[in-house]
Each structure stands twice: as structure tokens, then as C-alpha cells.
């Protein structure tokens, strides 16, 4: 293309004063003639409309990617909403650790540092773990998977002696960040404990960080006199993680109370029939 007559006009282009302009934003879209030696051509310059459209498409692709990552990550749609901003308990040490872990995830990943959230039932352990997942997915589109250990064991047992079993373990071993919820329920069988150890050890060997939540006390996890099968699991976990105690009011109850308050206000004062 050596002149404007060779410039391919688009539907929204208009020629004026020897140049091509976008009808909508008025920006000139034909560049200066480029001579590459073997050929000459006039490059097309993106107008404001095209730049805006590209940005919108890129943003839409990111939102689609985030939505897909969240579907793959969480088993419950409610967990999509578990964020640091909506944390209802006091934002103490556990909250700060979780928040800074997400903020510094690249360093945590490089050094294979995970977290072990331990504390009473309902203290917010799973919520904080999910908040980390949501933050990483939304900010960096990191692939994360959270699974209750009972789910993991059930899936493996259903597919025992099949190729699917190895595939499940492989998938959990390779995801960039794995969150294993409710450590301690694997106490049922020797087979279950062996599979849990295989997943944890595989991630350890591959240098992939893992976050655990548990109702067990740190004293139980650190107890050197427990059975060897437990020692193997807990010793490896302690080697891979920083223990973080989560304290506070029953988080599930607070979420339920907040939900009741919200819908009570809506039903009583949200419009409709007056007294």
C-alpha cells in the first residue's frame, strides 16, 4: 500500500483533507507512510473507539476468566462472596496474616509457604481461606482449589482402582494453590490417611503451597506420641505451613444473624402494604 487509495476503508471511516478519520470519535486513523525497503505502506492507527472497545473486550475476558476460576475453585456458591471486605469478626492477627499472605502470594509460592488455620468450630477459618482464594482469583486470576477433606476422600474411594483416582490426586497435586478444609476428618481409615498423605507429600515435593483449616488443636498436631500415620501427615503439614490460630465469635452465627437482619428489614420496610 503506497497511498491512501490502497488504504482499506472500514464502515466507520471517512476521508477528509487527504486523511482518513473515524466518524464517531473524529480521530485520524491513517498513519505516516512507512518505507521498509522492500515495501511501503500506510499503517492503521487505533482510534478512541477501537481503544475503548479493546479495553472493554479485555475486561470482559478477565471477568469471564474470574467467573470460571471461581466455579472451579468453590463447591458452594456462597463461598464466592467470602472476601476480606465482608469479614465480620474482629480483624485481628489471623485476618492480617491471611490478608498479607494473599498480598505476598508470589513470594509465598516461590518459597512454598502455606498456612494452617486452627481454632474452634465457627471461628472463621474457612472464611479466611476462601477470602485468600477470592483475592488471588480476582486480582491475579490464580487457579485455586478448595476442597473439604471428606470430599477428597469420597472421590478417591469412589474411583479406587481406576485411572480416575490417580487423576484426582494429580489434579490436586498440581493446582497452584490448594486449600484443604477440615483437616482431621481423615481419621476414619488407614486408606484415607494414606491418600491424604500422598496429596500433601506430592505438593511438598513439587513446591506448591497448601492452606489447611482444622478444628484440631496445635497441641494434637504437634504431639510426637500420636500414631505414626498421623505423625507423617502432621509433620509434613507443619513443615509446609505457618500455624495461625483463629479466634472470635461463632462466625457462622454472625453471618446468619446478618442475613436475618438484612431480610427482616427488607420484609418489614422494603415497601408494599403499610400497617
Q: Measure the CA–CA gap between 33 and 40, rounded to whole angstroms.
A: 7
How do residues 87-135 score in pLDDT, each as one tens digit?
A: 866 778 999 999 999 999 999 999 999 999 999 988 889 999 999 999 9
pLDDT of residue 194: 85
Q: Measure the CA–CA gap between 254 and 89, rounded to whole angstroms.
A: 8
In this prediction, residues 78-85 reach a mean pLDDT of 94
**DSSP string for 134-147:** HHHHHHH---EEEE
pLDDT of residue 2 exceeding 90? no
Q: Measure the CA–CA gap between 171 and 169, rounded to whole angstroms.
A: 6
Helix axes 125-140 and 93-103, enclosed angle (nearest 10): 20
Q: Is 205 exposed, middle or buried (0-12, 13-18, 19+ CB in 10 A)?
A: exposed
Reference 188, options 223, 219, 161, 153; nearest CA is: 153
The alpha carbon of residue 154 and the mean position of all alpha carbons in its chain are separated, in whole angstroms, by 23
Q: Is residue 208 within 8 Å of 180, Cβ to Cβ?
A: no
The alpha carbon of residue 69 and the mean position of all alpha carbons in its chain are separated, in whole angstroms, by 7
Sheet holding 144-148, edge to edge: 144-148, 177-183, 210-214, 114-118, 241-245
220: which residues sit within 8 A by CB, 6+ positions away? 226
Angle at alpha carbon of residue 148, lines to 142 and 153, rounded to 5°:
115
pLDDT of residue 1: 43
Reference 46, options 37, 55, 38; nearest CA is: 55
122-131, 147-156, 180-189: lowest mean pLDDT where?
A: 180-189
* Average predicted confidence (pLDDT) for the chain: 86
Reference 242, options 152, 84, 107, 146; nearest CA is: 107
First to last CA, the chain: 77
Find where cell 490464580 sits: 142
Query: Looking at the domain that runs over 74-254, which CATH code has it been given?
Result: 3.40.50.300
Reference 148, options 178, 190, 193; nearest CA is: 178
In this prediction, residues 4-8 reach a mean pLDDT of 68
Q: 122-141 as b/e, with b when 16 or more CB fall inside 10 Å?
A: bbbbbbbbbbbbbbbbbeee
Residue 85 to residues 71, 95, 116, 127, 134, Cα–Cα distance (Å) = 21, 11, 21, 12, 11
Residue spans per domain, the chain = 74-254
pLDDT of residue 270: 64
Q: What are residue 241's DSSP bridge partners? A: 114
Residue 54 to residues 44, 63, 74, 169, 211, Cα–Cα distance (Å) = 15, 14, 30, 40, 37
Name the band, by pLDDT with cuts 50, 70 and 90, for residue 40: confident
pLDDT of residue 275 exceeding 50? no
How do residues 224-255 score in pLDDT, each as one tens digit?
A: 788 877 888 999 999 999 999 998 765 556 55
Amino acid at each position: 500500500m503506497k497511498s491512501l487509495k490502497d488504504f482499506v476503508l472500514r464502515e466507520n471511516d471517512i476521508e477528509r483533507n487527504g486523511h482518513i478519520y473515524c466518524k464517531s470519535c473524529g480521530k485520524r486513523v491513517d498513519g505516516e507512510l512507512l518505507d521498509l525497503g522492500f515495501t511501503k505502506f500506510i499503517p492503521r492507527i487505533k482510534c478512541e473507539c477501537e481503544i475503548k472497545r479493546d479495553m472493554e473486550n479485555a475486561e470482559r475476558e478477565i471477568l469471564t476468566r474470574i467467573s470460571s476460576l471461581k466455579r472451579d475453585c468453590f463447591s458452594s456458591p456462597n463461598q464466592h462472596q467470602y472476601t476480606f471486605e465482608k469479614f465480620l469478626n474482629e480483624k485481628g492477627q489471623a485476618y492480617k496474616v491471611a490478608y498479607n499472605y494473599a498480598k505476598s502470594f508470589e513470594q509465598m509460592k516461590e518459597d512454598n509457604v502455606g498456612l494452617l488455620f486452627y481454632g474452634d468450630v465457627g471461628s472463621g477459618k474457612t472464611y479466611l481461606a476462601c477470602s485468600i482464594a477470592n483475592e488471588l482469583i480476582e486480582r491475579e486470576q490464580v487457579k485455586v482449589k478448595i476442597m473439604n477433606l471428606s470430599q477428597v476422600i469420597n472421590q478417591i474411594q469412589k474411583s479406587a482402582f481406576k485411572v480416575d483416582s490417580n487423576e484426582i490426586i494429580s489434579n490436586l497435586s498440581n493446582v497452584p494453590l490448594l486449600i484443604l478444609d477440615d483437616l482431621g476428618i481423615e481419621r476414619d481409615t488407614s486408606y484415607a490417611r494414606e491418600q491424604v498423605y500422598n496429596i500433601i507429600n506430592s505438593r511438598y515435593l513439587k513446591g506448591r503451597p497448601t492452606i489447611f483449616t482444622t478444628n484440631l488443636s496445635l497441641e494434637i498436631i504437634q504431639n510426637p506420641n500420636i500414631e505414626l500415620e498421623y505423625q507423617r501427615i502432621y509433620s509434613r503439614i507443619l513443615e509446609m505451613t505457618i500455624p495461625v490460630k483463629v479466634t472470635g465469635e461463632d462466625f457462622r452465627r454472625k453471618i446468619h444473624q446478618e442475613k436475618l437482619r438484612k431480610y427482616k428489614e427488607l420484609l418489614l420496610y422494603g415497601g408494599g402494604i403499610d400497617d
